[in-house]
Structure formats: structure tokens, C-alpha cells
Amino acid sequence: MPTPSAARIHEFEVVSNTPVAEGIWSLVMRAPKLAEGLSSGQFMSIAVPGDATQLVRVPLSFSKADPVKGTVETEYAVVGDGTRRLSLMRPGDTSDVLGPGGHGWRLESHPRRVLLVAGGIGITPIVSAARWLAREGVEFDAIVGTKTVNTLWGFDELMSVGVQHVVITSDDGTAGDQGFTTDALEPALAGGEYDLVLTCGPEVMMHKVADICAAVGVACEVSMERMMTCGFGACATCVVPTRSGNVGACMGGPVFDAKEVVW
Amino acid sequence: MPTPSAARIHEFEVVSNTPVAEGIWSLVMRAPKLAEGLSSGQFMSIAVPGDATQLVRVPLSFSKADPVKGTVETEYAVVGDGTRRLSLMRPGDTSDVLGPGGHGWRLESHPRRVLLVAGGIGITPIVSAARWLAREGVEFDAIVGTKTVNTLWGFDELMSVGVQHVVITSDDGTAGDQGFTTDALEPALAGGEYDLVLTCGPEVMMHKVADICAAVGVACEVSMERMMTCGFGACATCVVPTRSGNVGACMGGPVFDAKEVVW
Amino acid sequence: MSAPNMAVDLGGIKMHNPINTAAGTYGFGWQFEGFYDVSQLGAITTKGCAAEAWPGNPKPRMCEVTSGVMNSVGLMNPGVRGLVEQSGEYLQGLSDKGCAVICQVAGHSVDEYVAAVELFEELAPFAAGLEINISCPNIAAGGCAMGSTPDGAAEVIRALRPRTDRPLLVKMAPARVVEVAKALEAEGADALSVINSIPAMSIDVHTRRSRLSRPTGGLSGPCLHNIAVRMVWEVAHAVDIPVNGVGGVMSGADAAEFILAGATSVSVGMSNLVRPDSAPRILSELVSWVEEQGVDDVNDLIGAFEC
Amino acid sequence: MSAPNMAVDLGGIKMHNPINTAAGTYGFGWQFEGFYDVSQLGAITTKGCAAEAWPGNPKPRMCEVTSGVMNSVGLMNPGVRGLVEQSGEYLQGLSDKGCAVICQVAGHSVDEYVAAVELFEELAPFAAGLEINISCPNIAAGGCAMGSTPDGAAEVIRALRPRTDRPLLVKMAPARVVEVAKALEAEGADALSVINSIPAMSIDVHTRRSRLSRPTGGLSGPCLHNIAVRMVWEVAHAVDIPVNGVGGVMSGADAAEFILAGATSVSVGMSNLVRPDSAPRILSELVSWVEEQGVDDVNDLIGAFEC
Ligand SMILES: Cc1cc2nc3c(=O)[nH]c(=O)nc-3n(C[C@H](O)[C@H](O)[C@H](O)COP(=O)(O)OP(=O)(O)OC[C@H]3O[C@@H](n4cnc5c(N)ncnc54)[C@H](O)[C@@H]3O)c2cc1C
Ligand SMILES: Cc1cc2nc3c(=O)[nH]c(=O)nc-3n(C[C@H](O)[C@H](O)[C@H](O)COP(=O)(O)OP(=O)(O)OC[C@H]3O[C@@H](n4cnc5c(N)ncnc54)[C@H](O)[C@@H]3O)c2cc1C
Ligand SMILES: Cc1cc2nc3c(=O)[nH]c(=O)nc-3n(C[C@H](O)[C@H](O)[C@H](O)COP(=O)(O)O)c2cc1C
Ligand SMILES: Cc1cc2nc3c(=O)[nH]c(=O)nc-3n(C[C@H](O)[C@H](O)[C@H](O)COP(=O)(O)O)c2cc1C
Ligand code: FES
Ligand code: FES
């Protein structure tokens, strides 16, 4: 039989849940088995309480899984009703979470130096990637894009885990360079230092990142977002068109080899 | 134009909400305008939070409205999901309530002495009636029926407001006399002291009370329960068949002249 | 920016804004006067009335289900004469204030519909239009049974059309809507109300009995909203007469969805019952949406859904 | 008291209990093996497969609505060969453990249905029955378009009946269910699955666009449960072949409602997706209910609704 998802249902308890930037919250939950099982780039699907008419779980990446403390941390943008209700959860509140979900970052190319490219809330799995690269002893730099200075999160986290060099870009120039991550990407790749780019952010951004990498021949992995109903491969609502056909983002992804994706 | 309901939407805050007998809770809420407006035998419809799939309000009678403190008290039986969720409300929690609803006790016969007959949770508007009769200076006695001693509530309240004589009946004989309220009613009416009976309880009980009163020629008012959707006369889901046709319990009732009801 | 035009024309019924009420959830209008000034709505639709009074069905007439209610009221009504006696003066006043009064018409047979329409013609000068209910799921004859096939629906309107010059709306059942709508348009209906409650069933699994006094009832509420939006869209594409969207409207966004799908007006139903001040709130949310959309006339948004 | 008999016979498909799964919400079964032993269910129904693989529709394929989801997956599937290659061994094992494997069959035309059935005959010895999906709301041809009229539905089954001796279930659209069911019975269908998701529409009122990649999608979930119960009841009264109840089953009580309304078996759908361990929980709740009802055979409760 094909391999079923490794996801299980885990009860969790909120340890902390606080705003860390404009519209962005950081949730730390206690869920020991999940914390052990998650590998970087995977995701989890949270049953958010508070509105019994809304049954679908909210899929989120994580920035840190701490198997020792048994905790998982995620940063999320409040964009609609599910994430708004999530932001209302208080320390001690409980619910359940399904995970670990899908395929994480692959590093199949055994890179020597990695460039991380995050757009907006795409920073969450990028911070996780940074922690993991640091653990693996792979050097890395980062480009972090934000709308404006108030919506920026992740710089301190990247620094603390040992990023070498970070370029910040902002749409309005209030933080770092004015412009998009992709503006910073071309010059960064010009030096030829990188043999892998990991990226997460708006799909248009990731598409452009993928194109730029392809043009200069650098491997690229993208973390794709889709409307997910189940999160474990049963419903086919989350597919990403790839060169080998439609592939479910919740099992074959969310991380894909950028060359495989048909944008 | 015919007279619309006097009901309005009132925000309320829970003052206390505690179990007072097996399966019976007492809720005190602060809702000053409602407390001023309610007259005995009327009802209110509470929007109970906690399950967004359940939109219909829970209609409840009240046992005490205190215009000075601005509070309203009700005793309710936890019988299903709405009342279960109501029992989860904590002091300080808020929601809204629609009221006052309908017609209360009428006393149209200008009684000298009244007999109150309560079955089960029907005690709530009966305690309110007792307070009101006491205020009006009308003497009254009571028959209170309960399943068993643990589900009994209201005896102390009736005593404290000056009931002259109370007969308790219980299905299993654990409190007062074993039997039904109606077993106690016939002997009570035999003396000819009463010129009005007010009753609330299961419909079969009220029907029997009405028949007994009719047989001995004593006026009787009954407080009827119906599935209510609106509580203010707009939907016709709550009708009671009467000699003058179907009448909405939420506007023409919940209190009806027993002689009018077609059982 | 000046306030956008909200006035719409529902097949000859002039409404100063698109918000209407759903028959059976709004009594005869005056029930809501304690909560707000009803004349601010574009129209109200009164409870379906037949030529003679109907007693309706036994209790229980309502049960609550997931995100909705089921009812089996069975068109209990005071008859056209009863309506006019009890509420005629109020409705005339409402009409004088510029709120369109739509009177719903009930019947068990073509003859009964004819008799009711003739009585409305005679007694109800305040009626801006008549809504023919051929879709009540809770009566043994007439209603749903007639309104669920193109032939049955057409037969009723064919008989009524010559009896009145007033705008005739038809309240449609949630069945075969495209075929039925075309048949109704061909018979001269001026507008279509889409949809009535959906026949449904709720069983108490402990007693094995229906939670209503009849085996089935009509389902209302947000649970069916997206089904109704689809039906409005289908009907609006199939016919040239305007559509009044009905079903699960709890917010201005829900009303806007109907308008984008092709509805000229929108009826608030169950929402009136659970929160009596819903309709004016929904109206003001709708006005805000029209403003946000940057148009100066709500009519520019009717059917403006982009595929 | 000994445990009640839960085994039922769905038109020749032997199930050791009445719990089945709804096509499209259960993958090919193995997706759930991480959560529980799938063979404890009475049956599973696999994702609709056509003779050749289908890519399905573009994104977004899902949006959430009040107490439900809408999907426009469009029957993306690996084709019968793909199913057998990827999942055939697993499904054979499941069948060997006593869980009935029902394979759903998709097509855009009668010929495509025939081709798919012939492939299943050839390649899928594990199939206890075939469920013909003539009710997918998300494909341009076939599906709903064929299954919504008695003639269209009959035509498909007339062509398939001679090609297989296996039990043929038909997955019905939520439209004209009595007429369609009778037509299907007359053509030799062995059982009917009632209902597929209901065509619905959800519009983002800010962008004026559909929240799916197509204008409409299929609505699933508790929002439509009571509509489905009514349809099961109507169909069960209209035909003599057994019915599999589908729609909004989230609990044992929901399943029990279907059984009382006349269903022989019950499919769990959307509930699988939001809580992957739903089906065995629903089964155990159903067993408790049968015990509470004081019968020793679930078959005594089929259609035991009292009017
Ligand atoms: C694998 C994966 C990882 C993700 N990681 C993160 C993360 O770390 N931080 C973060 O802020 N967001 C993340 N997202 C996005 C997040 O799931 C959505 O923002 C969230 O579901 C929105 O829910 P809502 O009810 O608040 O908003 P809604 O009002 O429902 O929708 C707002 C927008 O969110 C998106 N969305 C809604 N529901 C889903 C769903 N079930 N699946 C996918 N997208 C949806 C839609 O594009 C929609 O337009 C991730 C999504 C996926 C698929
Ligand atoms: C005018 C009036 C006054 C009432 N006063 C009291 C009171 O003081 N104390 C008290 O305990 N109960 C009172 N009730 C009954 C109370 O409304 C129901 O017990 C309550 O609504 C049950 O809701 P639920 O969700 O807990 O139960 P459900 O699971 O919904 O139903 C349990 C039972 O409660 C009844 N019920 C449910 N909903 C309604 C409704 N909307 N209207 C009427 N009956 C319903 C039904 O008979 C049902 O079988 C009163 C009812 C009315 C109409
Ligand atoms: C209690 C109740 C009574 C109703 N009575 C009628 C009626 O008399 N005539 C009618 O056409 N529809 C009637 N309906 C249906 C509504 O008019 C409306 O079509 C349906 O409820 C869907 O809209 P909603 O979801 O906004 O309520 C009734 C609905 C309810 C809840
Ligand atoms: C994501 C998704 C995919 C579906 N795919 C199919 C399918 O391939 N074939 C089919 O007959 N029904 C399909 N359905 C419909 C279900 O089988 C079922 O009939 C419907 O969802 C109602 O049941 P529920 O409310 O329990 O989900 C699908 C439903 C969903 C939510
Ligand atoms: S979300 Fe269900 S298959 Fe991916
Ligand atoms: S509850 Fe609506 S009329 Fe009485």
C-alpha cells in the first residue's frame, strides 16, 4: 500500500499566543508528540474553536519545534475568521491539531550555502528552515520581504540562529531596501555563492524566485499554499500542477522542487 | 395597527449562574430595563452563546425581577444543548435577551385566595406569581410537584414570600406525599376556599388541573410551553389551539385562561 | 461622494432599496415596529394569505437544526379579509411612507388562488404587488406540489394573470428552477422569488418520530444560503424578469452575494426571527458594500458576478 | 444482552455493519490506515475513477461556508488502471478482511461509463460493488447533467447493467429523486446512494468572483443533512431496492436518522476530512443507539420512523 500520512490527531494546550507584529501573532502550543515528529517545512492543521459553523482546520507552518519542551511555535497572519479566532485562544486553552503534514524542505542537492527568501508570513517555515540548516551546519543567508516596517517579523530569530547576512526589503521603504524580495534576489545570486534557494511567500513572488533561480541554474524549493480540507491526502482539494500531473500539496508538498511546479 | 410586542433586545451580564437542584440551575442576570418591564408570568428569550450553529433563542420564564438592583432571576432545567450551554455561562459573561414577552398571569377574576400548582420546572413562573400575589396582598397556597427530593426547588422561596400552606408531592415519595400534584389538587379545592388556580408544568398535568378546576367551577390560568422561534408574534410557530382559534403563545400567552384552551 | 442610489424596480414594484422580507418570517410588518421604523425597508412581504382563514398544522411547528430551523406552520393565516381587517390600515400607512407592501397569496388549488387574488384586488389597495406562493412545503395540496413542475407552476399563473394588473411575483420551490422560471416568465409573471424553504426531515432518534407534527418541514436559514445563491444565478440567467433572492441572508454580504448573482432585491427571512432588528442592519451593511464597490447605483451591481 | 447484529445487505453488497464512506472524502482507503484499522467499517467507497485519468479542475477547489464546504475537485482521478496499480493490493487485502470495497465509477458520457465498468470488471476482483456516479456537480459533461432527469439516469444504467453481474449502486443527484429512483430501479440498479453534494455558489463580494475556480461547486456537510434525510425517506418509500444514505453525517445520531428514514447503510463524508477518526466513532455511537433501542438487529430499525 502507498504510504499514508504520518499525521495524527494531537491534543494541544496553548502556552502563549501574542501579537509580534502588525497583524501577525505567535502561538506556542504544548503538543509533545507533534513536537517530536515535525521536520522543517512540514505543516500542521489546527482545529480552531469558537465557531461551530466553521469545521475546516487551519493549516499552518511552524517556525520552531522543541522536542525537549514538547512545544511547537508558529507565526500566523490574521487574515480571516479562522485566524482571528485562533488569535483569541488564551494560555491554557485546548484543542487539537493534526500533524505532521506533508513533505518538508528536501535539501536533496546537498547544498553548501543556502539562500532563504521569505515574503510576508512566508517567514514562518523559513525561520524553521534556518534553525534546521544551522543544526545541520549548512551556512545560509536570507532575504526577508515585508509590506512595511510594522509587519516585519523574523529578523531577530534569523540572527539568533546564525544567519550570515540578511537583506530586508519593504514595499514602502520603511524597512531595509524599498522593493520586493525578487529585486534583491538577482544581485544576491550573481555572486554564485548559493547552490540552493528555499522560498515561501505569495505565489507570484515564489514563481518569480523560481524563474530567477532557473535562469541562473540554482536549485530552488518552494513551499506552496493551497486551500486544504483534510491535510492528509484524502480529498484532492489542495493540488499543485506539476510536470508529473496534479500533486496534493498536503502530501507531495507543501514543499516542491520549483522546477517541478507548473505555475 | 394591532399592538406589537413590548419586547426589546437587552444586553445582559451574568451575575450568578449556579445549580440549585439536580438538573436545575438558577441564573441571575443584570438587565435593568428588562427588570423594570417584566410582569409576572411573562417570559424572555435568551441568545445563548457557544454554538454558532444554534441560532434560536431559549425562551424562559422568570422567578424574580428586581427593578432596584436591575436584575432578573430564572430557574431552568438543563434538558438539551441550549440549556446546557446556558449553564456554562459564568459571572461577567454577556449576551442579549429579548423581552418582556407575552401576556403574564391575569387575575381577571379578582381572586381572594389563590392556589398555585407547579409541576417540575414549571415552578419558575409560579414563584414569580407568589411574589406578585404577596405584593398585591392576595393570600395564596401552593402545591409543588417534583420527580424526587433532589429535583425540588422553590419551597424556601415560597415560604419566604409568605405562602400560607404548601403541599409537596413527589413521584417517588421522597419528598412530601407520594403522587402527582393533581392528586393533591382535588382535596385542596374541596374546601371551596379558592377562587383561582394558577398552574405551570407539563401539559398533561395542566390539562388535568384545568379539568379539575372546571369540574368544581374554579377559575384557572395555565402557562403554556411551545417551540418558539421569534418570541414576538412574527412566525406562528408557537400556537395554542383555543376556542377562538389558534393563538400564539408568545403574544396571546404564555398564560391562557384554562377554559379557552382546546387541549 | 454622495450616497449611492439604492432604488430598484422589482418587475414594476418600486423599492427605495433592495431589502425585502421573506413571507412568514415577518408577520404583517407591524410586529417589527417596536424594534425599528419598518418603512426604511424597500419592501415587506406579508404572511401568505388565502381567500379563507387557515388554521395551519398542529404542534410542534418548529425544530432547530444545524445552522437553520425547520418549520411546519402550514400557512396558518387569517384569510385576506382577516389580513385587511387587522393590518390593512397599518399596511396602507406603510405604503404611504414609500415602503412597498407585497402581499403573499396562498391556495390549495387554482380556484383558491384565483379567489384569493380577487379578494386582494377588491380589498387591498395598499398592495404594491402580489407574491404567489406555489412552493409551501407544508400543505397537503397546492404549494410545493404545484410549484415543482413547469406545468403545475404555469397553470397557476395562467389563471391569475388576467385577474390583476398588479405586479405578480411568484415564490418558487427549490426544484427544477430553470424550467419552472421559464414557464412562469412565459405566462406573464413579473418577477420571481427564489427560493422558498427546502423540504427537509428531522427525526428524534430516541422516539423514532419526526421532530415536527408532520414527517417533513421546510428548512430555512444560513445552511441553505449557498444553494439559494446558485439557484438565483441560474434563474437570473434563464429569464429576463427580475429575481428576488431569498435564503439564509444574515448579513449585508449575504445580500450582496444575491445581487451579484443577479437578484434585483433580497428578502431577509429567518434572521428576522432570531434577531428582530436584522433587516435594517443588513440594509446598512449593504449600502456600505455598494459604496466600497465604488459605484453610484446598486443597479450596476446586479448580476455583476464575474465568472 | 449480546451485541446486536449490525450486518446489512446493500443490494448484494454484504456489509458487516452499516457504515460506509462517501466517495471523494476517503481517497482509496489507505489514507486512513494511520488513524485506525479501516476494515472495521462495513464498507468503503473509493474516489470516482474513469477509464482514463482525469486532472480535475484548477484551484481553488474548496471554500468553506456555514456548516459545510463547497468543492470543485471535478473528479480528479488516476483512472481505473491507476487505481488498481496504486491501491489494488491494499483494497484486495481490505476485502479479504471482510470490509466491502465499493468502487465508484465516473464518466463524461455513456460510452465512458461503459469503458470504466469494463475495466473494473477486468482489473478489480476486489470490488464488492460498483457505484455509478451520475451526479457530480463539478464536471462539464456527464455527472449531474445526466443524473438529474429520469431519462438521463436510466440511459446510463441501461447501458451498464448487461456489462456486470456485480451489484450496481447509483449515486444520485439531489434532484427529482423519486422519479429518478424509480427509473433506476426499473433499469436494474441494485441500490441507490442518496445524495451527492448539492450544487451551490459562493461569491467573494469584494472581488465579485467565485470563491472556487468554477462558478459553482458541490456543497457538503451538516448544513444539508436534513435535506438528505428527507430525500432518503422519499426514495426509500418509492422503490424496493435498498438505499445508502449520504449527507452531513457527523455523529451516530445522524447515521441513525438515515436508517430510521429507510437507509440500509450510511456513508460518512466530509466528517472524515475534518476529523480523520470520525467513521469508527460514528460506528460505535450507532451500535450504542441500536442497543438503546432494545433491538437485537439493526435491520429492525431500517425505515422504523413512525409518522
Ligand atoms: C501548508 C500551509 C502552511 C501555511 N502556513 C501558514 C503560516 O505559517 N502562517 C500563516 O499565517 N498562514 C499560513 N498558511 C495560510 C493559512 O492557512 C490561511 O491564512 C488560513 O487558513 C486562513 O484562514 P482564515 O479563516 O483566517 O481566513 P479565510 O477568511 O478563510 O481566508 C483568507 C485567505 O486564506 C486562505 N485560506 C483559507 N483557508 C485555507 C485553508 N484551509 N488552506 C489554505 N489556505 C486557506 C485563502 O487564500 C483565503 O483567501 C498556510 C497554508 C498552508 C496550506
Ligand atoms: C414561554 C416559555 C417559558 C419557559 N420557561 C422555562 C423556565 O422558566 N425554565 C425552564 O427550564 N424551561 C422553560 N421553558 C422551556 C425551555 O424553553 C426549553 O426547555 C428549552 O428551550 C430547551 O432548549 P434546549 O436546547 O436545552 O433543549 P432541546 O434539546 O432543544 O430540546 C429539549 C426540549 O425542550 C423543548 N424546547 C426546545 N426548544 C424550545 C423552544 N425554542 N421553545 C420552547 N420549547 C423548546 C422541547 O420540548 C424539546 O423537546 C419555557 C418555554 C417557554 C415557551
Ligand atoms: C417560520 C417560517 C414560516 C414561513 N412561512 C412562509 C410563508 O408563509 N410563505 C412563504 O412563501 N415562505 C414562508 N417561509 C419561507 C421563507 O419565506 C423563506 O423563503 C425561507 O425561510 C428561506 O429564507 P431564510 O433562510 O432567510 O429564512 C417561512 C419560513 C419560516 C422560517
Ligand atoms: C472534497 C469532496 C470530494 C468529493 N468527491 C466526490 C466524488 O468523487 N464522487 C461522489 O460521488 N461524491 C463526491 N463527493 C460528495 C460526497 O461523496 C458526498 O455525497 C457529499 O459530500 C455529502 O456527504 P457529506 O455531507 O457527508 O460530505 C465529494 C465531496 C467532497 C467534500
Ligand atoms: S487537503 Fe485533502 S488531499 Fe490535500
Ligand atoms: S414564537 Fe414566533 S409567533 Fe410566537
Same domain flag for A75 and A119:
no
Same domain flag for B26 and B93:
yes
Write out pLDDT tens, residues C66-114: 999 999 999 999 999 999 999 999 999 999 999 999 999 999 999 999 9
Contact status, residue D276 vs residue A98, Cβ threshold 8 Å: yes
C182 within a domain of the structure (yes/no): yes
C91 within a domain of the structure (yes/no): yes
| Interchain contact C133–D (C-beta under 8 A) | no
**What single-letter DSSP state applies at residue D24?**
T
Same domain flag for B37 and B96:
yes
| Interchain contact C298–D (C-beta under 8 A) | no
Contacts of B209 (CB under 8 A, 6+ apart): B117, B181, B182, B185, B197, B199, B201, B220, B222, B258
Contact status, residue D110 vs residue D48, Cβ threshold 8 Å: no
Report the alpha-carbon angle A113-A116-A121, nearest 5.
165
Same domain flag for A92 and A135:
no
Q: Do D24 and A53 make contact, defined as CB atoms within 8 angstroms?
A: no
Residues of chain C with pLDDT under 70: 1, 142-143
CATH number of the domain within which A207 lies:
3.40.50.80
Q: Indicate the angle between helix axes D110-123 and D150-160, nearest 10 degrees.
A: 40
A252 within a domain of the structure (yes/no): no
Q: Within the 204-243 window of chain C, which residues sit less than 8 Å (CB to CB) from chain B?
A: 221-222
DSSP string for residues in C17-72: SSEEE-TTSSTTSGGGTTTS-GGGSSEEEEEEE-SS-B--PPSP-EEEETTEEEE-
| Interchain contact B57–C (C-beta under 8 A) | yes
D164, D174, D93: which is closest to D131 by C-alpha?
D164
A237 within a domain of the structure (yes/no): no
B35 within a domain of the structure (yes/no): yes
Q: Distance from the CA of A238 to the center of ligand 5, in angstroms?
A: 5
| Residue at a domain's end among B70, B101, B132 | B101
Q: Which of D21, D26, D28, D59 to mutate to test the interface with A (most CBs of A within 10 A)?
A: D59
Same domain flag for B221 and B136:
yes
Annotation marks residue D49 as catalytic: no
pLDDT higher than threshold 80 for residue D213: yes
What atom of ligand 3 comes closest to residue C135's alpha carbon? 11
How far B31 CA sits from the closest chain C CA (Å)? Answer: 17
Q: Please give the Cα distance from C184 to C169 (Å, whole number).
A: 10
H or E element in which residue D9 lies: strand D8-10
A2 within a domain of the structure (yes/no): no
Q: Which residues surround ligand 4 with Cβ inside 6 Å?
A: A 229, 235, 237; D 22-25, 47-48, 69, 71, 73, 75, 104, 133, 136, 171, 196-197, 220-221, 246-249, 269-270
H or E element in which residue D64 lies: strand D62-65
Q: Do B55 and C59 make contact, defined as CB atoms within 8 angstroms?
A: no
Q: Distance from the CA of B82 to the center of ligand 2, in angstroms?
A: 8
Which residue of chain D comes nearest to C233, CA vs CA?
D201
Burial environment of residue B3 by CB neighbours within 10 A (0 to 12, 13 to 18, 19 or more): exposed
Q: Which domain holds residue D143?
A: 8-301
Contact status, residue B205 vs residue B121, Cβ threshold 8 Å: no
Write out pLDDT tens, residues B84-93: 999 999 999 9
How many beta-carbon contacts under 8 Å exist across B and C? 106
A132 CB near ligand 1 (under 6 Å): no
Contacts of C109 (CB under 8 A, 6+ apart): C141, C142
Contact status, residue B49 vs residue B121, Cβ threshold 8 Å: no
CATH number of the domain within which A70 lies:
2.40.30.10
Q: Please give the Cα distance from C8 to C19 (Å, whole number).
A: 10
Q: Determine the pLDDT at residue D139.
A: 76
Q: What is the mean pLDDT of residues D71-93?
A: 96
Same domain flag for B138 and B221:
yes
Q: Please give the Cα distance from A240 to D255 (Å, whole number).
A: 35
Task: Give me the number of domains chain A comprises.
Answer: 2
Contact status, residue C61 vs residue B236, Cβ threshold 8 Å: yes
Q: Determine the pLDDT at residue C137.
A: 84
Match 502550543 to its residue by C-alpha cell: A29
| Interchain contact C253–D (C-beta under 8 A) | yes
Write out pLDDT tens, residues A229-248: 999 999 999 999 999 999 99
B259 within a domain of the structure (yes/no): no
C32, C35, C33: which is closest to B9 by C-alpha?
C35
Q: Is the peptide bond before C195 cis (omega within 30 degrees of 0)?
A: yes
Q: Determine the pLDDT at residue D1.
A: 61
Query: A38: helix, coil or strand?
Result: coil
B254 within a domain of the structure (yes/no): no
Q: Give the closest residue (by CA) to ligand 4 atom 5.
A: D24
C198 within a domain of the structure (yes/no): yes
B235 CB near ligand 6 (under 6 Å): yes
Query: Which of D24, D30, D93 lies nearest to residue A235, judging by beta carbons?
Result: D24
**What single-letter DSSP state applies at residue A68?**
T
Q: Relative to the alpha carbon of A229, which ligand is closest?
A: 5
Q: Please give the Cα distance from D36 to D30 (Å, whole number).
A: 10
Contact status, residue A161 vs residue A98, Cβ threshold 8 Å: no
Q: Tens-of-pLDDT digits for all 263 residues of chain B? A: 899 999 999 999 999 999 999 999 999 999 999 999 999 999 999 999 999 999 999 999 999 999 999 999 999 999 999 999 999 999 999 999 999 999 999 987 788 999 999 999 999 999 999 999 999 999 999 999 999 999 999 999 999 999 999 999 999 999 999 999 999 999 999 988 999 999 999 999 999 999 999 999 999 999 999 999 999 999 999 999 999 999 999 999 999 999 999 99
CA A86 to chain centre: 18
Q: Give the closest residue (by CA) to ligand 1 atom 35.
A: A227
Catalytic residue among D99, D103, D136, D223: D136
| Residue at a domain's end among B75, B101, B127 | B101
Q: Distance from the CA of C208 to the center of ligand 2, in angstroms?
A: 20
| Interchain contact D199–C (C-beta under 8 A) | yes
B132 within a domain of the structure (yes/no): yes
Q: What is the mean pLDDT of residues A119-142?
A: 96
Q: Please give the Cα distance from B47 to B26 (Å, whole number).
A: 17
Q: Determine the pLDDT at residue C140.
A: 72
* Chain C residues within 8 A of B238 when measuring between CB atoms: 61-62
What's the pTM? 0.97
B236 CB near ligand 6 (under 6 Å): yes
Listed in sequence order, the DSSP H helices in chain A are: 32-37, 81-87, 123-136, 155-160, 181-190, 203-216
B208, B207, B212, B206: which is closest to B188 by C-alpha?
B212
SS3 annotation, chain B: CCCCCCCEEEEEEEEEEEEEECCEEEEEEECHHHHHHCCCCCEEEECCCCCCCCCCCEEEECCEEECCCCEEEEEEECCCHHHHHHHCCCCCCEEEEEEEECECCCCCCCCCEEEEEEEHHHHHHHHHHHHHHHHHCCEEEEEEEECCHHHCCCHHHHHHCCCCCEEEEECCCCCCEECCHHHHHHHHHHCCCCCEEEEECCHHHHHHHHHHHHHHCCEEEEECCCCCCCCCCCCCCCEEEECCEEEECCCCCEEEEHHHECC
Q: Please give the Cα distance from C187 to D258 (Å, whole number).
A: 40
Q: Please give the Cα distance from C140 to B138 (Å, whole number).
A: 50
Same domain flag for A125 and A219:
yes
Q: Determine the pLDDT at residue B181.
A: 95
Q: Do D215 and C307 make contact, defined as CB atoms within 8 angstroms?
A: yes
Write out pLDDT tens, residues D147-188: 889 999 999 999 999 999 999 999 999 999 999 999 999 999
C3 within a domain of the structure (yes/no): no
* Chain A residues within 8 A of B51 when measuring between CB atoms: 52
* Chain B residues within 8 A of C60 when measuring between CB atoms: 226-227
Contacts of D277 (CB under 8 A, 6+ apart): A9, D35, D36
Contacts of B80 (CB under 8 A, 6+ apart): none
Same domain flag for B94 and B156:
no
Same domain flag for A34 and A96:
yes
Write out pLDDT tens, residues D259-303: 999 999 999 999 999 999 999 999 999 999 999 999 999 999 999
* Chain B residues within 8 A of A52 when measuring between CB atoms: 51-54
Q: Do D277 and A239 make contact, defined as CB atoms within 8 angstroms?
A: no
CATH number of the domain within which D272 lies:
3.20.20.70
Query: D214: helix, coil or strand?
Result: coil
Write out pLDDT tens, residues D220-249: 999 999 999 999 999 999 999 999 999 999
Contact status, residue A171 vs residue A147, Cβ threshold 8 Å: yes
Q: Do D307 and C175 make contact, defined as CB atoms within 8 angstroms?
A: no
Q: Give the closest residue (by CA) to ligand 2 atom 13.
A: B60
Q: Please give the Cα distance from B248 to C78 (Å, whole number).
A: 13
* Chain C residues within 8 A of D207 when measuring between CB atoms: 306
C204 within a domain of the structure (yes/no): yes
Query: Which of D60, D61, D274 lies nearest to residue A56, judging by beta carbons?
Result: D274
Write out pLDDT tens, residues A71-93: 999 999 999 999 999 999 999 99
Query: C107: helix, coil or strand?
Result: coil
| Interchain contact D66–C (C-beta under 8 A) | yes
Q: Please give the Cα distance from C297 to A141 (Å, whole number).
A: 53
B56 CB near ligand 2 (under 6 Å): yes
D34 confidence band (pLDDT: 50, 70, 90): very high
H or E element in which residue C286 lies: helix C278-292
Q: Which domain holds residue A13?
A: 8-101
| Interchain contact D35–A (C-beta under 8 A) | yes
Q: Please give the Cα distance from C21 to B67 (Å, whole number).
A: 36
| Interchain contact A100–D (C-beta under 8 A) | no
Task: Give me the number of domains chain C comprises.
Answer: 1
| Interchain contact D225–C (C-beta under 8 A) | yes
How far B165 CA sits from the closest chain C CA (Å)? Answer: 36
Q: Give the closest residue (by CA) to ligand 5 atom 3.
A: A233
Q: Determine the pLDDT at residue C144.
A: 72
Q: What is the mean pLDDT of chain A?
A: 96
Catalytic residue among C49, C99, C103, C136: C136
Please report the beta strands in chain C, taking only residues with DSSP state E, as ranges in sequence order. 8-10, 13-15, 19-21, 43-49, 62-65, 68-71, 100-105, 127-133, 168-172, 191-194, 198-200, 203-204, 209-210, 217-220, 243-246, 265-268
A26, A11, A95: which is closest to A61 by C-alpha?
A26
Residue A94 identity: T
Query: A112: helix, coil or strand?
Result: coil
Contacts of A240 (CB under 8 A, 6+ apart): A224, A226, A246, A247, A248, A249, A252, A253, A256, A261
